[in-house]
Amino acid sequence: MSAASNPAPANGPHGHPVQGPGAGLALVVGAIGVVFGDIGTSPLYTLKEAFSPHYGLNSDHDTVLGVLSLAFWSLMVIVTLKYVTIIMRADNEGEGGIMALMALAQRTLKNGSRTAYVVGILGIFGASLFFGDGVITPAISVLGAMEGLEIAAPSLHPFIVPLTVVVLLLVFMAQRFGTEKVGKVFGPVMTLWFIALAVIGAWNIIQAPEVLKAFNPYWGALFFSEHGWHGVFILGAVVLAVTGGEALYADMGHFGAPPIRHAWYFFVLPCLLLNYLGQGALVLEQPELVRNPFYESVPAWALYPMIVLATMAAVIASQAVITGAFSVSRQAMQLGYIPRMRIKHTSQDTIGQIYIPGINWLLAVMVIGLVLAFRSSTNLAVAYGISVSATMLIDTLLLALVARALWPRWRNWVLPLCVLFFVVDVAFVVANGAKLLQGAWFPVVLGVVLFTMLRTWRRGRELLRDEIRKDGIRVDTFLPGLMLAPPARVPGTAVFLTADGSVVPHALLHNLKHNKVLHERNVFLTVETLPVPHAPAERQLKVEQIGDDFYRMVVRFGFMETPDVPLALMRASDATGMGFDPMDTTFFASRETIVPSARRGMAIWRDKLFAFMHRNAAPATGFFRIPGNRLVELGSQVEI
């Protein structure tokens, strides 16, 4: 049923295979620590939000069972069936996430078709919404954990927001050191967290076993029957129980599908259900405790240790989201949707351990700003959910395309399920859309702004390439004329970076104009990103001799790889025998200055936006890891 010939193997982090049951268990524990942080901290605020004054529900017997039943079946249908059982089989060479699913869906369509264009729009909009989720998750998780102080000692209420800001600031400051060492404790801490959830939940269920009736979908149907059509709006709170479901699919490339599935089926899901039912049992017995059923269900002697453990779990959930934002940003850079940014590698052994300062501090400002603006998890919960539910809806549409084209043996039952998922996702979107004026506007506006920037950057790059190609001189007509009266040749190799190998690079023309020399060997180098996570060996390099020691070379990377041009050239030495000496190779690059024009291309405001982003983008040379002491940059103006 996989998009590939076989389902994703049980790989270790970043695709390294593992051996033996001990290694498999380590992967399961690692997945518990990294993958389930977001959904694992949902019990902190989900039930409390469902009975907040915003929804106007009474904490009576039937309503409590109805809300719990809706939460249970949402976890089963959306997370267990849709993501864990089905979508995780749609692996793009072992990688998951909405951008990987988008690339997989586009591969089933004709290049340049309208459907492929729409799929690209959906995928990029979903990725934009992911950043909205990434902003709210750390804020609501840490705030929800800190609010336990109010239960332990009401006099500590004024310190909740300042302490939350301090914790979040420390989390973002620690990003530059990498998560490799800290990550080793994520699994054990989150395992302890889930065990604590299960134990507390089971203890409260024993006090009121009546709550087990919530497994019966009758109570969910009864809830809608009693509350009429406006009962749908409670899904705006129920969706909090499934936030983080998409992260299970997005992090598949780090651990492989089997460890995530095993962790969910046999450990995480049972622990979450026990805790939700335990909170419900408490409210059935003492309805007035619905103000914070999570912490009210904890024994008094364990309250402070639970606050500490909850804060650690919230930090881990935040860390997972931040790391995911780095990963998605790198994918978007590689696919040409956002400007290049400086990427710092925080591990010598694991290529996936990266730190992007620009993304980190942008997230930090927005997350801390959200905490200061909303000041409670209840207020933030109103804003939460719309981006998550919209992303889930986009995943369903992309899944239907993939199933129809790539799963002929399974589509007869997957496509009807996609209809079910579509109906549920639309209901969640509508329920959360009703909260737009109360705060849900924030992730929507953020998503639209980011989407506009991503599409503007992509379209601007296309216009820039078209202008360079239009004004350029074709190589096949330039070289014969040049060789009629060849300039002086100097020793060494000149590598000219160009987006189009059929056009003479501006840097070469400027070099001839000002220095009046040619190098002994000249290479027109184009770097391409393939819509697969890792470029296959047979497609990584293409070399073509075009005469008189001129070569056209194409180096290809996957969207999960870090482009390293000098390393690729060294590998080309082995493959082609061309012999690139790093100390005898000079890289030439053009750095264009964009001149916005109202008469062509995009709207003038988008031209100016693209020019601003282009001006502040990291140089391609740094992004491609070209050493500065071997680089010559030459500028030019281009009107778009």
CA distance 313 to 315: 5
State residue 4's pLDDT score: 39
Is there a contact between 252 and 95 (Cβ–Cβ < 8 Å)?
A: yes
Q: How far is residue 499 from each of residues 524, 560, 570, 601, 630, measured CA to CA in Å?
A: 9, 20, 21, 19, 20
Identity of residue 555: V
Q: Check pLDDT > 90 for residue 469.
A: no
- Which pair of tokens denotes residue 177? 């050191």
Going by their DSSP bridges, the two strands 354-355 and 488-497 should be labelled as unpaired
State residue 271's pLDDT score: 96
Is there a contact between 435 and 388 (Cβ–Cβ < 8 Å)?
A: no
First to last CA, the chain: 46
154: exposed, middle or buried (Cβ count in 10 Å: 0-12, 13-18, 19+) = exposed
CA distance 230 to 435: 13
CA distance 637 to 639: 7
Q: Which is higher by pLDDT, 348 or 569? A: 569
List pLDDT tens digits, range 203-220: 999 999 999 999 999 999
Fold (CATH) for 15-439? Amino acid/polyamine transporter I (1.20.1740)
State residue 203's pLDDT score: 95
Q: Which is higher by pLDDT, 229 or 179? A: 229
Mean pLDDT score, 169-182 = 75
- Smallest CA-to-CA distance from 122 within 418, 602, 415, 454 is with 454
State residue 18's pLDDT score: 41
Residue entry with tokens 């599935």: 261
- CA triplet 482, 484, 485: central angle to 5 degrees? 75
State residue 86's pLDDT score: 92
List pLDDT tens digits, range 523-564: 999 988 887 778 888 888 888 888 788 888 999 888 777 788
Please state at what angle helix 386-406 crosses helix 411-433, rounded to 10 degrees: 160
Which helix (H) or strand (E) segment is 637 a member of?
A: strand 631-639
Is there a contact between 455 and 124 (Cβ–Cβ < 8 Å)?
A: yes
Q: What is the mean pLDDT of the chain?
A: 83
- Smallest CA-to-CA distance from 260 within 97, 50, 459, 101 is with 97
State residue 17's pLDDT score: 39
pLDDT band with cut points at 50, 70 and 90 for residue 574: low
State residue 475's pLDDT score: 85
Q: Is 325 left (phi over 0), alpha (psi -120 to 50) or beta?
A: alpha
List pLDDT tens digits, range 276-321: 999 999 999 999 898 889 999 999 889 999 999 998 998 888 877 8
The gap from C-alpha 587 to its chain's centroid, in whole angstroms, comes to 33
List pLDDT tens digits, range 2-57: 343 333 333 333 333 344 445 577 778 878 887 888 899 899 989 998 998 888 88
List pLDDT tens digits, range 595-627: 887 777 788 888 889 888 888 887 777 778 888
311: exposed, middle or buried (Cβ count in 10 Å: 0-12, 13-18, 19+) = buried
State residue 5's pLDDT score: 32
List pLDDT tens digits, range 67-82: 999 999 999 999 999 9
State residue 9's pLDDT score: 35
Is there a contact between 40 and 194 (Cβ–Cβ < 8 Å)?
A: yes
Longest dimension (CA), the chain: 95
List pLDDT tens digits, range 390-442: 889 999 999 998 888 888 888 889 999 999 999 999 999 999 888 888 878 88
pLDDT band with cut points at 50, 70 and 90 for residue 576: low
CA distance 501 to 510: 17
State residue 64's pLDDT score: 94
State residue 349's pLDDT score: 52
Mean pLDDT score, 316-332 = 79
Q: Check pLDDT > 60 for residue 350.
A: no
Rounded to 5 degrees, φ, ψ at 525 are -105, 125
Rounded to 5 degrees, φ, ψ at 550 are -105, 135
List pLDDT tens digits, range 220-276: 999 988 887 778 889 988 998 998 888 788 777 767 788 889 999 999 999 999 999
pLDDT band with cut points at 50, 70 and 90 for residue 179: low
Which positions ≥6 away from 351 have C-beta within 8 Å?
14, 345, 561, 562
Dihedral sign from CA coordinates of 324, 329, 334, 335: positive
Domain boundaries, the chain: 15-439, 460-639
